[in-house]
Amino acid sequence: METRSIRGFHDVLPEDAKRWHRVEETAKAVFELHGFSELRMPVLEFTEIFARSLGTTTDIVEKEMYTFADRDGSSLTLRPEGTAGVARSYIENSMWAKSPVTKIYYTGMMFRHERPQKGRYRGFYQIGAELLGPEEPASDAELISMVWNILEGTGITKYLTLEISSLGDGICRPQYKEKLVAFFAPERERLCEDCQRRLETNPLRILDCKVKGCSEIASRAPRMIDSLCADCASHFAEVREALDSAGVPYVVNPGIVRGLDYYTRTVFEITTGELGSQNAVAAGGRYDGLVEELGGPRTPAVGFAMGMERLILLHQAAFPEGFGREISVFIAHMGEEARKRAFRLASELRGLGISTEMEYGGKSLKSQLKRADKSGARLTLIIGEDEIRRGVVKVRDMDTGKEDETTEINPGLEIAGRLGGK
């Protein structure tokens, strides 16, 4: 057999885990500040949930989902994103009936069958949040500033740009789409092959085509934000005003397009130039029609998701010094009697809340100290025959190399005191 992980899937190794914890804890702390609670969801849903939510012609649904038949023949899919599952749970658990405002965050692995590359995996972690119920621009602004605060808390905003736009609603977006098709139709022959296809499937996509000829034509095309209906226009203006007052730095980018069909009105992206062609670190927006589309009551909502692996890459760039593990105390010992005493002492210290490691076997003191050094221990306790006989424990400060002894028979508390005093 081949001992390897599946293509596009990867391990987060122990030496990197601390960095992940740091980022996750920062996000959770900010969520709590805004009154969001965690929702833990299944990784599998009926395929229908995603097909209905994301739109049947989107890339994700058309070719990127891990879909398979359950034993009874029903079609299941490993979640490619989190929002659809939240919406399903919101409806299934009647959350709308419990409160006019529901604030949820989630974290976990998502699955998309794409070609892997830097910052892009088939199994990847996202952290996201959804604010369901309110329609008012203040809720868009709160969610966006919350995202920005998380990224600020992790110390990586120097790499980031926040871009916002509005996609309009069920009234003005179809009208705009027609305008756009009318604009591109005469230019059809000059568009690239993909865009000629997009003209039928998703004309908005032409706007962010990277082919030179297309982007040139697109730059003259009518813009969604100029075509918003009165309600959408004032909504967008109020979101911007609220962000201004919160001091969140953003730029309006009318070219933002969504790969998912459920978005309406406000959309935003947080991008970086540090990750090769994967420039999106977080993205989200308003989706006023989704809950209803899935069979729930009409429920406006805003949400976002960010890619953990991409966040981690930026965090590594910002803080390259490493986030290794650290321990307070290492216990080295020589001799059978000393080993038993070391084990008891380790238990005692851990009981006092002091992180402690010890040598298990009978290695030389030199090699034990080497291991102590690598463990990052601040103090190494040395117990040998001499110490046993005299009822003491030698204490070596690993920064200064200075040594002395505890005088007490039971040295745990004294050691705790020394660590606390430093």
Partner RNA sequence: GUGGGUGUAGCUCAGCUUGGUUAGAGCGCUAGGUUGUGGCCCUAGAGGUCGCGGGUUCAAGUCCCGUCACUCACCCCA
Q: Least distance from C-beta 251 to RNA, angstroms? A: 16
| Sequence-separated (6 or more) residues with CB below 8 Å from residue 119 | 275, 276, 278, 307, 309, 310, 313
Nearer to RNA, 194 or 293 (CB): 194
By CB under 7 A, residue 84 contacts RNA: no
- Long-range CB pairs of 34-37 (<8 Å, 24+ gap) are 34/103, 34/142, 34/146, 35/103, 36/103, 36/104, 36/105, 36/129, 36/131, 37/103, 37/104, 37/105
Q: Which of 193, 200, 321, 399 binds RNA (CB under 7 A)?
A: 399
Q: Which of 31, 36, 50, 121 binds RNA (CB under 7 A)?
A: 121
**C-alpha torsion 264→266→270→276, nearest 10:** 40
Residue with tokens 């949400």: 303
By CB under 7 A, residue 401 contacts RNA: yes
Q: Least distance from C-beta 57 to RNA, angstroms? A: 11
By CB under 7 A, residue 370 contacts RNA: yes
281-301: string of b/e by CB count within 10 Å (b at 16+)? Answer: bbbbbbbbbbbeebebeebbb
Among 45-53, 204-212, 228-236, 293-301, the segment contacting RNA (CB under 7 A): 204-212
Site for RNA in 16-55 (CB under 7 A): none
Q: Which residues pair with 397 in a beta bridge?
A: 379
Tokens of 391: 């009822």
Q: Which of 40, 71, 98, 210 binds RNA (CB under 7 A)?
A: 210
Q: Which of 67, 161, 253, 279 binds RNA (CB under 7 A)?
A: 279
User: Do 125 and 309 form a contact (C-beta atoms < 8 A)?
Assistant: yes
Binding mask 239-278 toward RNA (x if CB under 7 A, else -) reads: ------------------xxxx--------x------xxx
DSSP state of 185: G
Q: Least distance from C-beta 99 to RNA, angstroms? A: 27
By CB under 7 A, residue 367 contacts RNA: yes
Tokens of 227: 């075509």
Among 40-48, 107-115, 172-180, 219-227, the segment contacting RNA (CB under 7 A): 107-115
SS3 category, 117 = strand
Total residues interacting with RNA, rule: CB under 7 A: 69
By CB under 7 A, residue 306 contacts RNA: yes
Q: Least distance from C-beta 12 to RNA, angstroms? A: 13
Helices (H), 60-186: 83-92, 95-98, 137-153, 172-184
Nearer to RNA, 231 or 373 (CB): 373
Q: Are strands 102-111 and 123-132 parallel, antiparallel or unpaired?
A: antiparallel
Phi, psi of 410 (to 5 degrees): -115, 95
By CB under 7 A, residue 337 contacts RNA: no
By CB under 7 A, residue 116 contacts RNA: yes
Q: Least distance from C-beta 109 to RNA, angstroms? A: 10
Tokens of 333: 């010992």
Q: Which of 211, 221, 246, 419 binds RNA (CB under 7 A)?
A: 211
Residue with tokens 């097909």: 51
Q: Which of 309, 328, 345, 411 binds RNA (CB under 7 A)?
A: 309
Binding site for RNA (CB under 7 A): 4, 7-8, 58-60, 64, 81, 112, 114-121, 124, 126, 194, 198, 205, 208-211, 257-260, 269, 276-283, 305-307, 309-310, 334, 363-367, 369-374, 382, 384-387, 394, 396-401, 403
